[in-house]
Amino acid sequence: MKRIQIAIDAAKEYGLLGENIFGTDFSFTIEVVRGGGAFVCGEETALIASIEGRPGRPRSRPPFPAQKGLWGKPTNINNVETWANVPMIINRGSEWFSSIGTEKSKGTKIFSLVGKVMNTGLVEVPMGIPLQTIVYDIGGGVPDGKELKAVQTGGPSGGCIPKSLIDIPVDYERLTEAGSIMGSGGLIVLDEDTCMVDVAKYFLGFTMDESCGKCTPCRNGTRLMWDILDRITRGEGQLEDLDTLKELGEGIKALSLCGLGQTAPNPVLSTLNYFMDEYRTHIEEKQCPALVCKDLIEYWIDPEKCVGCLLCLKACPVNAIEGASKEVHIIDQSLCEYCGVCYDSCPKKIDAIVKRDRTRVPAETVAV
């Protein structure tokens, strides 16, 4: 925001903005308004409300902003990425711009490439580029010899695209068909160590917290879905929960007032579609295949590998680890909160702390 204001001030100084530009009858000004900062303000009517100083809450349409928008006047409202394309289109022409991308998705798109990928950062690619090209050619693939499991696109409201669809062209239509969205341009690479149920719960939790609460389907529906996912990740789910999640998700998409609620179920519905076996394992076997859900796993110190370096003992936030220097440590399971700090602190060359399924703990390795 500071840099934008500097640019506006410089433009005014040079006479490019303001009243009677270059002695003509044309006047044009730009004003920067700090919005409410809420995720829901990405919806155009909520953004207008925030600019006007009101709570950022969507309203029913029509009238659309082009008919009645900011201060009740016709408003053309777009995000910064869209406006950034305008100078290039003016300078090089619409035919040039339309030559990039696909028939229905023109131009380029900027993605925030993050997650389990070698090269992270902002990447600008032509619409229609295969997802595989972004992940492997630009991103360098998944590190540490791990297998790609899925790619989550579109930000918190996006869906998870499985490895089997890695060749999908990245455009608005194909991503929607796959159960995801283009959204804000987030692209998160997930590897084999990712629990897809936990991922769905995480993203739904974000949109649930960011809901403005104005409409019942989004306000109450996302909470109900999150509660079900929470039970499943704790090993307390039932098979009928899967049908309930699908029914709730489809209802929220169809009945919510704005785009936040209409897309919030995407992470859940897409993972149900592509990773149903993982949900069933959590419910039927009370196990997390990726060893992520902390209520279904435990940490154990291998006495054959532990060198008594004290790193895990010092790192444990609840003092659940016992042992002296250069002696084998043990984890008191009655105190452990399964946060994983000890696991992360153990030097990889030693690798003495094991993350394992609670339901499959060998009798000979039961700790205190």
Q: What is the CATH classification number for the domain harbouring 152?
A: 3.10.20.600
Q: Which helix (H) or strand (E) holds 358?
A: none
Backbone dihedral angles phi then psi of residue 110, each to the nearest 5 degrees: -95, 130
What tokens appear for 197 in the block?
A: 């149920």
- Is 23 among the domain residues? no
3-state secondary structure of 227: helix
Mean pLDDT of 296-310: 95
User: Same structural domain for residues 314 and 353?
Assistant: yes
Mark which of 284, 308, 336 sits at the end of a domain: 284
- Is 38 among the domain residues? no
- Is 128 among the domain residues? yes
Mark which of 191, 211, 246 sits at the end of a domain: 191
Mark which of 144, 176, 191 sits at the end of a domain: 191
pLDDT at site 365: 54
Read off the pLDDT of residues 40-66 as tens digits, 9 standing for 90 and up.
988 999 999 999 999 999 999 899 999
Read off the pLDDT of residues 247-278 as tens digits, 9 standing for 90 and up.
999 999 999 999 999 999 999 999 999 999 99
Mean pLDDT of 78-95: 92
- Is 97 among the domain residues? no
3-state secondary structure of 184: coil
Q: Which of 103-112, 242-251, 289-298, 353-362 has the lowest mean pLDDT?
A: 353-362
User: Same structural domain for residues 217 and 181?
Assistant: no
| Residue 71: pLDDT over 80 | yes
User: Same structural domain for residues 280 and 207?
Assistant: yes
| Residue 360: pLDDT over 60 | yes
User: What separation in angstroms does the CA of 9 have from each of 5, 33, 51, 71?
Assistant: 6, 15, 21, 25
pLDDT at site 259: 92
pLDDT at site 358: 85
CA 263, 160, 250, 203 torsion-angle sign: negative
User: What separation in angstroms does the CA of 326 have from each of 319, 323, 347?
Assistant: 18, 9, 15
Q: 39, 210 in Cβ contact below 8 A?
A: yes
**Radius of gyration of the chain from Cα atoms?**
25
Please report, for the domain that includes residue 213, its CATH number. 1.20.1440.230
User: Same structural domain for residues 267 and 312?
Assistant: no
User: Same structural domain for residues 171 and 251?
Assistant: no
User: Same structural domain for residues 169 and 246?
Assistant: no
Average pLDDT, the chain: 94
Q: Which domain holds residue 213?
A: 196-284
Residue 26's Cβ-count burial label (10 Å; 0-12, 13-18, 19+) is exposed
User: Same structural domain for residues 233 and 173?
Assistant: no
User: What separation in angstroms does the CA of 110 have from each of 11, 125, 186, 323?
Assistant: 27, 6, 9, 51
User: Same structural domain for residues 201 and 187?
Assistant: no
Q: How many domains does the chain have?
A: 3
d(CA 259, CA 157): 9
User: Same structural domain for residues 161 and 234?
Assistant: no
Task: Report the b/e string of 335-368 with b at 16+ CB within 10 A.
Answer: ebebeebbbebbeeeeebbebeeeeeeeeeeeee
- Is 90 among the domain residues? no
Confidence band of 368 (pLDDT split at 50, 70, 90): very low
pLDDT at site 33: 87
